[in-house]
Chains A and B, each alone.
Chain A
Amino acid sequence: MPDSQRWIFRHLRRLQWGQFLGDCADALSLYLIVVGCAILLVKMLLPAWWPQTLWVFAGLPLVPLWSWRKTRLHRFTRTEATAMLDQKLEAGGLLMTLSETPDEQWREHLPQVESLWRESLPRIRPRRFVSLLAAPVAFVVATCFVPVRESSSLNASPTKVSEQITEELEEILESLEEANVLEEPEKEELRKELEKFAEQTHDQPLTHEQWEMADFLRQQMQMKWEKNERGLEAASSALDELMSKMANNGEVSAEQLEQFEKAAGENLQSLARKALEGSTEGMSEQMKQMLKNLAQNGKLKMPGDAEARKKAMEELKEMLENEAQKLAEQRGECQGLGECQGLGQAPGQGGVNRGRADAEMVYGKESDRENTKFKEVVLPPGFLDEPSKQIVRMTSSAPETDPALEAPRAAARKNDPAAGRATWFRKLNPKYRGVVRKFFNSNKKATPIPDDTEL
């Protein structure tokens, strides 16, 4: 005879499982939607919190526990389960009655076939559970695939930007100092400028002028790098030329050696300074001596012996290559500064910048210095209109001059080698002569040719 109490218990347990699945589905779907929204919000608004946000999944095991507790609090009673089973068995209330008032005689009137009891048990079909959770799970998975918004410097305050700019400039200066690129006066001058800049921009947003100042300082320091690199390059090419001549002729002339000495004297000052300061790792004694000579006298004083000279030249070449490579690396590091500090170097990526004009300009396939078609031509230095100090006449008083008119011209002539009489006497291409003549109206003899001041 089937044990009715056991079947009631099984029925009750299955009902509770069904109830738990329902509660769990409700709670889990709500939890997943909240988690998905949180992930989305963090990825959109607070990207810095993203990895930590994954900890919200730690609460996932708590949801079934909470659901189980809820199920326990609102669980089906034994009476309810019995009533349901009674209905399913079509016992007409006898099962309920016997559950409350056991009676052996009436017990025989319950269904006696066990399969009937088994078929009356409810079956767990978690369709609602699956259908309810499908959408939230898909939502959470989708939110996990949403890319994290790149953090920009929109959060950076203007004062912070000025601090960053100052720091960047200081770092570039330090890099220059480490590379021993700067001479002492230059170093001092840049240091002073930078201190002044830092003082002006301390706890203040950068003004337009200060931005320009920062650009100027950055450009100045960049130029120092370039100058040093060019020097090394020039020395290296001079050395190459000398070595190739040596290889062709077997020996170099004193004039060629002199030219190399001159080029080295002009371009290897930074290397010489290093030698003087003692940073001569891996150098031979001979090379150290040569660089010291260069620093003190402006000349390398290559060894007289051809073999020794060749060896020194090879060592110098190797050293120049190493130095150029080192310099390039340092410069690369220096150029990297500021790119990731919210300066908006990359156009369209937000940040505090000065517009798209900051975008790096890439021209394409430019020819290098060696293969360039048009060689740089340095004009001879100009001279003043009246360079001669020949006495024209003696006056009783001081000569009458207008310093206001003379000063700019003098400054211009001093700095611009192409200015002055050389320019005046330069041969003019025939095809431009008509234009020049028309401009100056040279046919009218009465009109004097305007001087430089009027131009």
Chain B
Amino acid sequence: MKKTSPVQYLPLTHTTFYILISLTTPLHGYGIMQKVEEMSKGEVKLGPGTLYGALSKLEKQKIIAKTQEDGERRKCYILTELGKQVVKLEWSRLQNLVEVSRKKVESIEVEE
């Protein structure tokens, strides 16, 4: 069994990143959708196919986990330790990208 390092999951897509940062507290599927829509100010609306696909894949990758098994029809998810590392790393990557490109981008003049 190969060891999973958080780096191998980077970069994350826009959608995946939003889903992960919504899962710092336990949420069920519909809760994730609402949270993501709210955080992105309505820009990111998750379709159910996308959400289900993301949840089942992220759970398989052990980036997220169900908080409790059985019973409830709506399962709640939360970031795992690996998931937390993935989010942190992705965030540093994005931040770094912004930092190193700042001067260049600011020097670009766009004609009106």
**Chain B associates with chain A:** no
